Structure 1
Amino acid sequence: MARVWIDDLWLKHDNGVPPSSTAKRSLAAVSDPMTAQVPERWRSSRYGKGKRWRCRWYTIEGESRRQHSKSFAKLADAEAFQAGMEDDVRRGRYADPNDARKPFGDIADMWLRSKNHVSEGVRARYECELRVYVKPRWENTPIGSITIDDVARWVSDLTTGDYPVSLSSTERKAKPLAPRSVKSIVKVVFAGVLDYAVKSRYLMSNPARDVEIPKSEYRDLIFLDIHEIEALADAAASVGRPVDGLIIRFQSYVGTRINESFALQVGDLDLEHRKARIRRTWKNSAKAQRLGPPKSGKPRTVAIPKFLIKPLKEQIKGQPETAYVFRAMRGGHINDHNWRRKVWHKAVELAKLGDVQGLTPHSLRHSYAAIAIKAGADVKILQRQMGHASASLTLDVYGFLFPERLEQVADAVDMERDAVLNGGKRGRTRGGSRSGAQAGARSGTQ
């Protein structure tokens, strides 16, 4: 499509003779077209009926040519539409109205096929959220009919539990979703599909991007204190093996992700310097587990507390470099799903932590962060240890745990002022340094 034509629906040519200027001026001068001095020979069958002006353009769909049109009462409005449409075409902003009628489900399938760079675990999550939460509401909806208000209402329904859902069991019902779940469903998956529609020129804009979602309340994260961690570790060693207690302590006092720990090999440990190199993690998919890079995509080095060095040395004694640090009974790697079922859940009950809602192995990583922050860890160091992509992410998740330090800033200003005004050592040293530099500069210019 490169051109938009404007048609006059009220006037016509008479055997190739266009309407006269007098007839056109007469029609433009009256409010009632039936009173205009327009001879019958130039009046079309639609004369005086409906809107007078029509914009007409064509698109190519496959091997066929399809016409589109839009009518206007005023010529000025039609000309403005014509200019805007042709400008959109030149600038690559045009979206075919016919494409806006495509059902959301078709675009969602196209979007999912395009996600070639994501891990199998992430792809599985996308597929699950599309199937369970998104498609039951939007699958047959034309993408061009979705409005900001429609999405906002859906977000509200997700938070209250009043939404269509597709679950594997008929006995299970929709329930209110946490802010983080709503964010993933709406802003990552649903909005991602509409972003794909915009990139494909099926839509001009994405209504989901401007919709507000509930703010995540990270204070709801589960943290265990040191006494609870030790009780859980002892319980794990009791229901499983001694190594299961070591796994609990490693998670809680080093802060790695559970599948990073299970992918750790003997050669990754540098126990003399109390360090471990996190190079890989186990990736879960519908078919099987496989090794891949850590979540951030980059290896990192983590520090290990002293008290863990001795049990770790005993755990890897006599093992080759390629052996897993935390091994299954037969020497292979530990599958996290099996470990949760055989050890974790039983240990939680034995440690009398069964009433802690939402307690998972990942809660031990949160617990590590809380312990480290309480001990005075710097946010940048904590970010490196935990493998977050940025310090801002660390602050987004754990910022509320950092102590309020405004008073410390005020105290530092107090000390600096007192040192300068009262001739303190700190003030004289800095002042002397500046004076010496200035004197040297003056002598050099003379």
Structure 2
Amino acid sequence: MANVWIDDLWLKSDHGTPPPASAKRSLAASRNPLAAQVPDRWKTTRFGSGKRWRCRWYTIEGTTRKQHSKSFAKLTDAEAFQASMEDDVRRGRYANPNDARRKFKDVADMWLRSKNNVSEGVRARYECELRVYVNPKWADVPIGSITHDDVARWIGELSTGEYPAELRWRHEPKPLSPRSIKSIVKVVFAGVLDYAVKVRYLVENPAREAQVPKPEYKDLVFLNIHEIETLADAAEQVGRPLDGLIIRFQSYVGMRINETFALQVGDVDLAKRQIRVRRTWKNSAKTQRLGPPKSGRPRTVAFPKFLVKPLRALIKGKPETAYVFQAVKGGHINDHNWRRRVWHSAVARAGLQDVEGLTPHSLRHSYAAIAIKAGADVKILQRQMGHSSASLTLDIYGFLFPERLGQVADAVDAERTAAIVSKRV
């Protein structure tokens, strides 16, 4: 497509002679086109009926040249559309109207096939959310007909439980949590439409700027240092000294549990007190396999001094590729087995069984709380925990950061005073 033409659907030429200016002026000045002073020889068969102006353009689809059109009541609107379309072509933003008629479910299938860099678990979650929440609403809807208001209404339905869904066991839809809505709308649904924009089926994604309820993370479970130490001692008693070290390692380093169990001797630098997080265990329905960390990128984390001695004893004499934390019979520790064999018994022995929602992942949250209290800023915490962005770190732990406006004001005051004094001297 190179050009967009504007056709007058009411006036025509007569044997090559265009309509006179007087006929055009009369038609433009008349509210009722049928009352305008226009001789019949200049009138088309559609004169006075429907919209007067038509924009017309062509696309090449395979080996076929296909015409497209859009009608307007006002010439100014047609000219604005013409300019916009031709600008889109020059800038590579043009989307074929036929592609905008594709059904959402078909584009969703293409999007899933394109996700070659996600784990089996993440892919399973995408498929589940598409099947249960997204496709029941959008499967047969042409992607080009989805509006900003449609998306906003759907978000409201997800919040109130009034949405269509494919739920098993005849369960009824219920209001979803902000975190679930964010995943369904901003990750999966918007991801499909992002793909449509990328392959130029759409010009813009109506879901990308949609506002979803802000996740509340204040219900996360945090243990204080006394509770962590009590739990670690209990883990040593119900299991091995290694199990107590795992509790402390999780609580004072903040790695994900399957990153810890994938840790190899060669990843540990005792001199610098640093660990290179290169891999994690990926769980599927039947197997475990090694893969990159959740963010997809390796990262370096630091660990406190008191862990140097037990880690040195743990890795002494082991080859670089040996796992740091090993099962009783050697090899890596399976996190499901460890929870069943050690975690639940240690929680009960430590008297923490009534702490609702306490899981091994709570130790990672506890690390964040301790680090923030110790003065860690958001960027350092993001790097240590392997979050994709500092905004995600703030979304989760922002409420833990202390109010420091007074400290900032005092620091500014001190800087001003120092500058004035030095100038006088």
Interval containing the TM-score (normalised by the shorter chain):
0.7 to 0.9
Question: What is the DSSP-based 3-state SS (H/G/I as helix, E as strand, rest coil) of the residue aligned with 2:208?
Answer: helix
Contact 2:299-2:383 within 8 A present in 1 as well = no
Structure 1 residues 363-442: aligned runs within 5 Å: 363-377=362-376, 379=378, 381-388=380-387, 393-409=392-408
Contact 1:52-1:72 within 8 A present in 2 as well = yes
Structure 1 residues 69-218: aligned runs within 5 Å: 69-167=69-167, 169-218=168-217
1:320-377 residue CA offsets vs partner (Å, 9 max, x unmatched): 4432121123211112233334433444445443443332221101101212333444
How many matched pairs?
Answer: 423
Structure 1 residues 7-406: aligned runs within 5 Å: 7-12=7-12, 16=15, 18=17, 20-21=19-20, 24=24, 27-28=27-28, 30-167=30-167, 169-271=168-270, 274-285=273-284, 288-296=287-295, 297-306=297-306, 308-313=307-312, 315-316=314-315, 319-377=318-376, 379=378, 381-388=380-387, 393-406=392-405
Query: In structure 2, how many angstroms separate the alpha carbons of the residues matched to 1:192 and 1:166?
Result: 20
Larger mean Cα displacement after TM superposition, 391-400 or 104-113 = 391-400
Query: In structure 2, how many angstroms separate the alpha carbons of the residues matched to 1:54 and 1:411?
Result: 66
CA gap 1:203/1:386 in 2 versus in 1, 3 angstroms: closer
Contact 1:280-1:299 within 8 A present in 2 as well = no
CA gap 1:381/1:94 in 2 versus in 1, 3 angstroms: closer
CA gap 1:66/1:385 in 2 versus in 1, 3 angstroms: closer
Contact 1:260-1:294 within 8 A present in 2 as well = yes
Query: In structure 1, how many angstroms separate the alpha carbons of the residues matched to 2:362 and 2:137?
Result: 33
CA shift, 1:300, in A, is 1.0
Query: In structure 2, how many angstroms separate the alpha carbons of the residues matched to 1:44 and 1:300?
Result: 74
Question: What is the DSSP-based 3-state SS (H/G/I as helix, E as strand, rest coil) of the residue aligned with 1:98?
Answer: helix
CA gap 1:393/1:46 in 2 versus in 1, 3 angstroms: closer
1:83-118 residue CA offsets vs partner (Å, 9 max, x unmatched): 333333233232222222211111122222223344
Query: In structure 2, how many angstroms separate the alpha carbons of the residues matched to 1:163 and 1:300?
Result: 43
Query: In structure 2, how many angstroms separate the alpha carbons of the residues matched to 1:319 and 1:342?
Result: 25
Letter in 2 for 1:359: L
Larger mean Cα displacement after TM superposition, 219-228 or 81-90 = 81-90
Question: What is the DSSP-based 3-state SS (H/G/I as helix, E as strand, rest coil) of the residue aligned with 2:97?
Answer: coil
CA shift, 1:286, in A, is 5.3
Larger mean Cα displacement after TM superposition, 265-274 or 147-156 = 265-274
CA shift, 1:251, in A, is 0.7
CA gap 1:68/1:373 in 2 versus in 1, 3 angstroms: closer
CA shift, 1:153, in A, is 1.8
Question: What is the DSSP-based 3-state SS (H/G/I as helix, E as strand, rest coil) of the residue aligned with 2:169?
Answer: coil
Structure 2 gaps of 5+ residues are none
In the alignment, what sits opposite 1:443? none
Structure 1 gaps of 5+ residues are 422-426, 436-446
Letter in 2 for 1:8: D
Query: In structure 2, how many angstroms separate the alpha carbons of the residues matched to 1:50 and 1:111?
Result: 40
1:202-248 residue CA offsets vs partner (Å, 9 max, x unmatched): 22221112211122323222101233323433444455444333222
Contact 1:124-1:286 within 8 A present in 2 as well = no
Query: In structure 2, how many angstroms separate the alpha carbons of the residues matched to 1:417 and 1:40?
Result: 84
1:245-275 residue CA offsets vs partner (Å, 9 max, x unmatched): 3222211122221112101223434556655
CA gap 1:285/1:47 in 2 versus in 1, 3 angstroms: same
Larger mean Cα displacement after TM superposition, 287-296 or 136-145 = 287-296
Query: In structure 1, how many angstroms separate the alpha carbons of the residues matched to 2:71 and 2:418?
Result: 79
Q: Normalising by structure 2, report the TM-score.
A: 0.84
Query: In structure 1, how many angstroms separate the alpha carbons of the residues matched to 2:138 and 2:273?
Result: 52
CA shift, 1:67, in A, is 2.7
CA gap 1:222/1:2 in 2 versus in 1, 3 angstroms: same
1:160-199 residue CA offsets vs partner (Å, 9 max, x unmatched): 33323334x3154444333233222222222122122222
Which structure has the larger Rg over C-alpha atoms? 1
